[in-house]
Each structure stands twice: as structure tokens, then as C-alpha cells.
């Protein structure tokens, strides 16, 4: 059992915290591409590592991830207009591009030096295979985006979703690693109505998947060190066909 201080150290991830600094060294998924389907649509609220951010797709299709708070007088840019390659604050009209640069300041003279100084906090994004990744770290040039098996597949990956978990990242990670709970907690007695399965995102979750996990109740857990970190798998014997099914 962790004491209170260790627990705080591990779970607090805001700017300037030790664990926040560590996690900011890595790219992280921020949103699904389908949540920003077209250019110049209203921004999407995204909360990452305790930061209130907005994602938006500008007129050229580029994705921006910026602070929700306007650097002028603190109005929420969530209510701003995403127009002509920038997000315009509704309060005084300052407009910011995906890099956080102020590109219009209608309440100041055109040569106002302030425009070059003002910067909205903005993070680099990269979009691949239906997922928008963000790098919140300090490096001017972010590291290369990970080449994971699933993010190099064709664009038609059938099973991708984003959900809200009311817990800290450690609790979520522990739950994911603890694969053997799936057979019990996420079981169903009625395959015709998967909405009764706790924690299963509906739609998009095939009945065969739930049945398979339920019937293969004893996962074989394996852990491997890799260059990118630790690879954890829970393999289940599918019996009749003699194959193993792995969750990673």
C-alpha cells in the first residue's frame, strides 16, 4: 500500500510535477480524427495531463492543440470561431494559428509589437490511422512518433474508441494490465444485448470477441522488455482451433 506522499508523487501529472514531466516526454493520443471530421468546425475540448486544451482543424486540414485560455484576458477559446486558418477569440477578436501564433489583433494598430510577443500555448500534433497524437513535452523538436503495429495498418481499423475514465492514470493502467478480470467482470448472459456488459463500449464490440474472452478464462501473462518500454500480453487459448488470442 502506498503512503499518501508516494501516491501523490505517482498520480499527480500537472505541469511541473515529477510524473507530469516524465509523461510529457512521450507522444500521447489526444483525440480521434473522426472527432474533427472537417476543416473550420468548432473546436473540441480535450483534457490531457490536467491541462484544459482545445483541438481544432484549420482551413488547410492541419490539427492544432492549444490552451483553452486566451492569453489576452483569459476568455475561453472554446467559444471562439475556427475560421480562415485560425481560432478567433470572441472577446476582442485575437486570432491564433495551430502553432499558437497571434495572426490577427483587431483591437490594436496593425504595427502593434504586441502581436509578435503574444503566444498561445500550443502543442505539436501528428495524425496517423485515425488518431491525433500530441507531444506536450519541452523538446523543440519532438521525438519521432512511435511506429506501433496498429498505427501502421490501413485506415480502416475497425475497433477504435475514446472514453472517459473517472480515475487516475495508474488505476487505469492497473485495470488494463489485470487482464483476467475481463472474463468475470465483462461477461454477459445475453449475447443478443451487449449493452448489459459492464465496461464494454457499444457499438463496435463484436459479440464473438466477448464470447471468446469469456470462454477462455485463464490468460497466460507474458512481459517483454522492448526499446520503447514494456510489452505486456495476456494470451488465451482458443481451444478448438488451437490458437492463442493475445491482448497487448
- List residues binding ligand FES (CB under 6 A): 70, 72-73, 75, 89, 91-94
Phi/psi for 131 (5° steps) reads -120, 135
Residue 227 neighbours by CB under 8 Å, 6+ apart: none
Residue 69 beta carbon to ligand FES: minimum distance, rounded to whole angstroms: 9
CB-based contact 96:103 (threshold 8 Å): yes
Contact 29, 136 (CB under 8 A): no
User: Closest approach of Cβ 115 to ligand FES, in Å?
Assistant: 12
Which CB, 92 or 186, lies closer to ligand FES? 92
Rounded to a whole number of angstroms, the minimum distance from the CB of residue 77 to ligand FES is 7
Closer to ligand FES by Cβ: residue 32 or 105: 105
Going by C-beta distance under 8 Å and a sequence separation of 6 or more, which residues neighbour residue 74? none
**Closest distance between ligand FES and the C-beta of residue 78, in Å?**
12
Closest to ligand FES by CB, 15 vs 114, is 114
Q: Please identify, using beta-carbon distances, which residue of 56 and 94 lies nearer to ligand FES.
A: 94
d(CA 22, CA 17): 9
Amino acid at each position: 500500500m502506498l503512503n499518501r506522499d508516494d501516491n501523490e508523487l505517482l498520480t499527480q501529472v500537472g505541469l511541473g510535477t515529477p510524473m507530469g514531466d516524465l509523461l510529457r516526454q512521450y507522444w500521447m493520443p489526444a483525440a480521434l480524427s473522426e472527432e474533427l471530421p472537417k476543416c473550420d468546425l468548432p473546436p473540441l475540448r480535450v483534457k490531457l495531463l490536467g491541462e484544459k486544451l482545445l483541438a481544432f482543424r484549420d482551413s488547410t486540414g492541419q490539427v492544432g492543440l492549444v490552451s483553452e485560455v486566451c492569453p489576452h484576458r483569459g476568455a475561453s477559446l472554446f467559444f471562439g470561431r475556427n475560421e480562415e486558418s485560425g481560432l478567433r477569440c470572441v472577446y476582442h477578436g485575437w486570432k491564433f494559428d495551430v502553432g499558437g501564433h497571434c495572426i490577427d489583433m483587431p483591437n490594436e494598430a496593425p504595427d502593434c509589437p504586441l502581436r509578435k510577443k503574444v503566444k498561445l500555448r500550443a502543442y505539436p500534433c501528428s495524425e496517423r490511422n485515425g488518431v491525433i497524437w500530441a507531444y506536450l513535452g519541452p523538446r523543440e523538436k519532438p521525438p519521432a512518433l512511435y511506429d506501433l503495429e496498429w498505427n501502421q495498418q490501413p485506415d480502416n481499423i475497425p475497433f477504435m474508441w475514446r472514453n472517459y475514465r473517472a480515475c487516475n492514470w495508474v488505476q487505469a493502467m492497473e485495470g488494463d494490465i489485470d487482464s483476467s478480470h475481463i472474463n468475470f467482470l465483462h461477461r454477459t448472459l445475453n449475447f443478443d444485448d451487449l449493452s448489459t456488459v459492464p465496461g464494454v463500449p457499444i457499438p463496435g464490440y463484436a459479440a464473438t470477441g466477448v464470447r471468446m474472452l469469456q470462454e477462455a478464462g485463464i490468460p497466460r501473462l507474458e512481459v517483454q522488455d522492448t526499446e520503447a518500454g514494456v510489452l505486456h500480453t495476456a494470451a488465451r487459448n482458443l481451444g478448438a482451433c488451437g490458437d492463442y488470442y493475445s491482448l497487448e
